[in-house]
Amino acid sequence: MALMTGEAYIESIRKLNMQVYMFGKKVEDPVDDPILRPSLNSVRMTYDLAQKPEYQDLMTAVSGLTGERVNRFTHIHQSAEDLVKKVKMQRLLGQQTAACFQRCVGMDAFNAVYSTTYEIDKKHGTHYFENFRKFAAYVQENDLTVDGAMTDPKGDRSKAPHEQADPDLFLHIVERREDGIVVRGAKAHQTGVLNSHEVIVMPTQSMRAEDADYAVSFAVPTDTPGITMIIGRQSCDTRKREGGELDVGNSEFGGVEALTIFEDVFVPNERIFMCGEYEFAGMLVERFAGYHRQSYGGCKVGVGDVLIGAAAVAADYNGAAGASHIKDKLIEMTHLNETLYACGIACSAEGHPTESGNYLIDLLLANVCKQNVTRFPYEIARLAEDIAGGLVVTAPSEADLRDPKVGPYVEKYFRAAPGVSTEDRLRILRLIENLTLGTAAVGYRTESMHGAGSPQAQRIMIARQGNLPMKKRLAKQIAHIKD
């Protein structure tokens, strides 16, 4: 079963015995919870589209591990073309869901762990690469969704992991046994963890010798004893419980994040990919972050396409589409969105093979991509709000629209362009609200800032990769300056 259907995916998640908490209560049935279900539907789309012949080229690839056709979200990139197709696939999914479809973190962890374990083994004579290849083949054969867990809570930012007042603020090894290790700690903001079958844990930053117990990477099933997930609140999340689908804006799809706690979780030897080789923590972080910064040049662009479309429809419905400043704002939004895409494609096309043979993006361009993502979606959202008008935040509820007494007032006073129903006008405004201020704003706005690393993390990489000495040499050569 190399490719799973969307329906089979949902049922496979239902079988997991995950410990999920929300609003102070255990969620007994996360699959059917109205607040959580839209996020599961987004991941489902990664399965549904892979079944369609017209998307086979983007959504699937032939595995270098098994020789079988697998979902691209489980693929180890074999070429720069694979990297380009990854970004195109993410744009497609952003367009189809207008939300975070979550499965990319596992794909990015896969490719970072693959090349890093190869290099650890070469230096230390360990067997992590073989461990990982077996795990990756298992994931591909069963078409599993994997969460990539990197971000530790980090406590006092001025202190190293071993210096923290509470040693658990970075996930670490608490016991080494014959048959494996026991770990404790937590990973924050875990995108899609409760919609995943497995979780790959990675260190969160470069480590020194004193932090060797924190330099740990492994994979375990998400329902392993000791793992607890606490769902993050999203703006307007409880609207999904109220039953008014119009008020939600995007009632079918969404994203989800959770604080994920590992309380003395046992990891068997064959699932360990790093265990104390602290000097490789930085390499793993840099590569994972690089891949995920590339990812944003696809997913955010796809969601941006929907937001630009929504703004244009709102302009039509308002009767304002002919105004020259509206046309110009839509051009500006498109320019910004396509600039992000250009960065995603460029860092992919400039990809190169690692020692292990899989392909890595150009790290400088991937960091430039993400740096732009920390800015442009905010400007695109600002322009969408500008075009939409104030009604985006003052419109009455669906219940008012349907009410026999006040509904006719809503109907009458919020009519605009001829031939457009008030309900459709409210629908498009609620979608803009959802993307810029509601549940989807987690993925489109704040995640654009902090996901895959906050802006300063990219600036450090840009400084490191920018090759200023070479540029100084160029200038001196042209100016006829001899050192």
User: Which residue in the set 102, 164, 250, 367 belongs to the binding site for ligand SF4 (CB under 6 A)?
Assistant: 102
106 binds Fe ion (CB under 5 A): no
Q: Is 162 buried (19+), middle (13-18) or exposed (0-12) by CB count in 10 A?
A: middle
User: For ligand SF4, which stretch binds (CB under 6 A), given 269-277, 292-300, 365-373, 423-431?
Assistant: 292-300
Q: Does 254 bind Fe ion (CB under 5 A)?
A: no
For Fe ion, the nearest residue by Cβ is 451
Q: Mark whether 447 is an active-site residue.
A: yes
Q: What is the rounded distance in angstroms from the CA atom of residue 195 to the CA atom of residue 295?
A: 19
Q: Work out how close the CB of 191 gets to ligand SF4 at its nearest, in angstroms, rounded to a whole number.
A: 5
Question: Which residue's entry shows tokens 């998400």?
Answer: 222
Looking at residue 446, its amino acid is T
Residue number, 249 or 276, with CB nearest to ligand SF4: 249
- Helix 324-349 vs helix 376-388: crossing angle, to nearest 10: 160
What is the arrangement of strands in the sheet containing 146-149, beginning at the earlier edge strand? 146-149, 198-201, 216-221, 272-275
d(CA 134, CA 113): 13
From 100-108, 221-229, 258-266, 378-386, span contacting ligand SF4 (CB under 6 A): 100-108
Q: In angstroms, what is the minimal distance from the CB of 337 to ligand SF4? A: 14
Single out the catalytic residue among 299, 343, 347, 369: 299
Active site residue 104: yes
Min CB(264)–ligand SF4 separation in Å? 28
d(CA 364, CA 370): 10
Q: Which of 119, 385, 398, 447 is catalytic?
A: 447
**Contact with ligand SF4 (CB under 6 A) among 35, 40, 87, 104:** 104
Distance CA 290, CA 361 (A): 7
Reported as type and span, the H/E element at residue 25 is strand 25-26
> Contact between 276 and ligand SF4 (CB under 6 A)?
no
Residues 6+ apart with CB under 8 A from 443: 99, 100, 255, 299, 303, 451
Residue 92 or 207: the one with the smaller Cβ distance to ligand SF4 is 92
Report how far apart, in Å, the C-alpha atoms of 271 and of each of 199, 223, 303 are: 11, 15, 35
Of these residues, 151, 191, 204, 422, which one is catalytic?
A: 191
Query: Phi and psi of 360, rounded to 5°?
Result: -115, 145
Q: Annotated catalytic, 191?
A: yes
Among 101, 128, 135, 278, binds ligand SF4 (CB under 6 A): 101
Rule CB under 6 A: say whether 305 interacts with ligand SF4. Answer: no
Task: List the one residue from 87, 100, 149, 401 that touches ligand SF4 (CB under 6 A).
Answer: 100
Binders of Fe ion among 417-476, rule CB under 5 A? 451
The residue count for binding ligand SF4 (CB under 6 A) is: 12
Residues 417-446, one symbol each (x = binds ligand SF4 by CB under 6 A, - = not), give --------------------------x---
> Computed from CA positions of residues 309, 310, 312, 313, in that sequence, does the dihedral angle turn out positive or negative?
positive
Among 191, 217, 354, 367, binds ligand SF4 (CB under 6 A): 191
Helical residues (DSSP H) of 69-172, grouped into ranges: 80-97, 104-124, 128-142
Whether 275 is a known active-site residue: answer no
Identity of the amino acid at 37: R
Lookup result for tokens 């230096």: 123
Q: Which residue of 213, 451, 453, 457 would you call a contact of ligand SF4, by CB under 6 A? A: 451
Residue count, binding to Fe ion (CB under 5 A): 1
377 binds Fe ion (CB under 5 A): no
* 58 near ligand SF4, judged by CB under 6 A: no
User: Phi-psi region for residue 126, left (φ > 0), alpha (ψ -120 to 50) or beta?
Assistant: beta
Residue 174 Cβ vs ligand SF4, minimum distance, rounded to whole Å: 29
Indicate if 338 belongs to the active site.
no
Q: What one-letter code names the amino acid at 144?
A: L
Stretch that binds ligand SF4, among 78-86, 128-136, 293-301, 324-332 (CB under 6 A): 293-301
299 included as an active-site residue = yes
Residue 321 Cβ, how far from ligand SF4 at the closest point, in Å? Answer: 30
If one asks whether residue 295 binds ligand SF4 (CB under 6 A), the answer comes out as yes
Q: How many CB atoms lie within 10 A of CB 426?
A: 24
Which pairs count as long-range contacts for 79-84, CB under 8 Å and 24+ apart, including other chains?
A: 79/351, 79/359, 80/348, 80/349, 80/350, 80/351, 80/352, 80/359, 82/359, 83/294, 83/347, 83/348, 83/349, 83/351, 83/359, 83/361, 84/345, 84/348, 84/349
Q: Please state the φ and ψ torsions of residue 263, each to the nearest 5 degrees.
A: -100, 95
Q: Which is nearer to ligand SF4, 191 or 318 (CB)?
A: 191
Q: Give the binding site for Fe ion (CB under 5 A).
A: 451
Q: Give the binding site for ligand SF4 (CB under 6 A).
A: 100-102, 104-105, 191, 295-296, 299, 443, 447, 451
Catalytic site residues? 100, 104, 191, 257, 292, 296, 299, 447
